């Protein structure tokens, strides 16, 4: 009964705090962006919706910790925490439902990043900048096997590219040039209709027009996000891109950073929850509750900010993803486990 009561209170505070933070985040952003938004009411509503999703993406991990702090303050002020301890309910029994529920929410949060939820902020930016959900990436140049590919324009949502040129090499010599006005991504490959293929034969130049299937596996979102240096990509596409880039012998540091950030970074919240819980006072009579609350919130924000900065440094290539993301989470896990054993 006690665990159920604690869990119920924890989830109540979690949803209340998350809702309040999202409302504040979206309202502040909307006031700043309202002049840049299109006149369409539908697009404004979509902008608010996508910004709300982005707020969840940004604020959910830290909310898990804030909810625990709010819960403990409530239990201490009402002397319920002392009552639990006097009934023989130890710290481990109290922290278990909080840690498990926070971990479950974190797993759900990670699962959301396998869906288009990961692109919420990108969609919001497109509405503000282009007055449309679609964005346009211009002058995209990349390597594919023995070919070099140029897209004048890439429209990821429409899965279309314009003014495509593919330069294919063989033994360091130009073998062929393929040009097409438009290309469409269908069934895991790009299809160029009525492409102009110029082949450099030994004794002559052969020019033909035909439909071409090429760039197998190069999804538009992978091209748009990874080659343009963006971090907003679903976990599924990121893992797919990792395999693809290994085959193409392309540097995978950035894509590893995206995967580690999506898979491991969110777990800082349940781990930090255990660490902060260790220092929770038993009663307001033997400690300054306001000082503890301030210190706990400040510590949470500092750790969150430092980890967020490390993730950004990994995205930019300033630090290796292992050192910037995996190592801090591993250290937090060690500290959390050590303090849990001391309860």
Q: Residue 318 contacts by C-beta under 8 Å, 6 or more apart in sequence?
A: none
In this prediction the pTM is 0.86
Best CA proximity match to 3, nearest among 101, 70, 77: 101
Q: Who's near 96: CB < 8 A, 6+ residues apart?
A: 3
Spatial distance between the Cα atoms of 50 and 135, rounded to a whole number of angstroms: 15
Distance CA 272, CA 300 (A): 8
pLDDT tens per residue, range 142-185? 878 788 889 888 888 788 889 999 998 887 778 888 999 999 99
Whole-angstrom Cα Rg for the chain = 26
At 39-71, the pLDDT tens digits run 888 999 999 999 999 999 999 999 999 999 999
Of 93, 118, 323, residue with least CA distance to 239: 118
pLDDT higher than threshold 80 for residue 1: no
pLDDT exceeds cutoff 90 at 337: yes
Q: Tell which residue, 93, 76, 84, has the closest CA to residue 292.
A: 76
The region of weakest confidence among 51-65, 73-87, 112-126, 277-291 is: 277-291
**Dist CA 113 CA 262 (whole Å):** 7
What pLDDT, in 10s, does the model give residues 63-101? 999 999 999 888 888 888 778 777 777 788 888 889 999
Contact assessment for residue 206 and residue 196, using Cβ atoms and an 8 Å cutoff: no
Establish how many alpha carbons lie within 13 A of residue 253's alpha carbon, considering only the half-sphere containing its beta carbon: 15
């Amino acid at each position: 009964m006690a665990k159920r009561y604690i869990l119920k209170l924890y989830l109540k505070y979690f949803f209340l705090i998350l809702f309040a933070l999202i409302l504040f985040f979206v309202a502040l952003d909307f006031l700043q962006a309202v002049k840049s938004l299109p006149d369409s009411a539908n697009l404004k509503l979509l902008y608010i919706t996508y910004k709300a999703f982005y707020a969840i993406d940004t604020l959910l991990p830290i909310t898990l910790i804030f909810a625990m702090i709010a819960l403990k303050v409530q239990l201490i002020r009402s002397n319920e925490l002392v009552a639990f301890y006097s009934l023989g309910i130890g710290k481990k029994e109290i922290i278990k439902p909080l840690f498990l529920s926070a971990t479950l929410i974190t797993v759900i949060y990670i699962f959301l990043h396998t869906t288009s939820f990961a692109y919420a902020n990108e969609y919001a930016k497109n509405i503000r900048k282009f007055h449309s959900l679609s964005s346009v990436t211009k002058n995209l140049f990349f390597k594919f096997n023995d070919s070099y590919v140029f897209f004048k324009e890439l429209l990821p949502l429409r899965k279309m590219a314009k003014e495509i040129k593919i330069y294919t090499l063989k033994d360091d010599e130009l073998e062929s040039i393929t040009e097409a006005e438009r290309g469409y991504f269908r069934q895991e490959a790009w299809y160029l209709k009525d492409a102009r293929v110029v082949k450099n034969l030994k004794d002559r130049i052969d020019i033909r027009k035909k439909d071409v299937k090429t760039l197998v596996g190069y999804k538009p979102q992978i091209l748009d996000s990874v080659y343009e240096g963006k971090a907003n990509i679903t976990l599924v596409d990121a893992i797919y891109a990792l395999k693809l880039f290994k085959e193409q012998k392309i540097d995978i540091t950035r894509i590893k950073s995206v995967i580690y950030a999506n898979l491991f970074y969110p777990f800082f919240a349940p781990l930090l929850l255990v660490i902060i819980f260790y220092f929770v006072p038993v009663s307001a009579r033997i400690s300054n509750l306001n000082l503890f609350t301030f210190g706990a919130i400040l510590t949470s924000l500092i750790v969150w900010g430092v980890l967020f900065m490390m993730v950004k440094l990994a995205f930019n290539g300033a630090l290796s993803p292992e050192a910037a993301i995996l190592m801090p989470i591993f250290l937090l896990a060690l500290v959390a486990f050590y303090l849990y054993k001391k309860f």
